[in-house]
Amino acid sequence: MIKKILIVDDSPVARAIVKKCLPKDHDFELSEAGDGQEGVQKFKEVRPDLTMLDLTMPVMDGFGALAAIKKEDRKAVVMVLSSDIQKKTVAKVMDLGADLVLPKPPSAESIQEALTKAARILEG
């Protein structure tokens, strides 16, 4: 079951949208980071069940953060949540080990569905 979620996005608006879309009947422990580098640091501190990761970010982009997180813990469950929905981008993040890819903007339904899939992946 997904309990701890880390949201990595440079846009406070994008992070707010994700939080609004999360199911209200779950008591998630949420952490946030504003760029990829901070995201990797937070990942190491928090060890989330699910990391939601944007791709286009300053300092360290989502590709770098994804690679660093997967290097740190190859079983980490990472969902890329991005407006960059190019076929080659999706292929690139899957190659880097992303477990799920969700286009922006999310909806309550798409987040719920993604959480269900993430929980299955987490449980192995």
Return residues touching other proteins (CB under 8 A): 10-14, 16-17, 20-21, 55-58, 82-89, 92, 103-105, 107-108
Measured from the CB atom, the residue of 61 and 97 that comes closer to other proteins is 61
Nearest distance from C-beta of residue 55 to other proteins, angstroms = 8
End-to-end C-alpha distance for the chain, whole angstroms: 11
Measured from the CB atom, the residue of 35 and 49 that comes closer to other proteins is 35
Q: Which residues are 31's β-sheet partners?
A: 6
Nearest distance from C-beta of residue 83 to other proteins, angstroms = 3
Q: Can you state the percent helix, strand and coil of the chain, rounding each to 5?
A: 45, 20, 35
Contact 43, 69 (CB under 8 A): yes
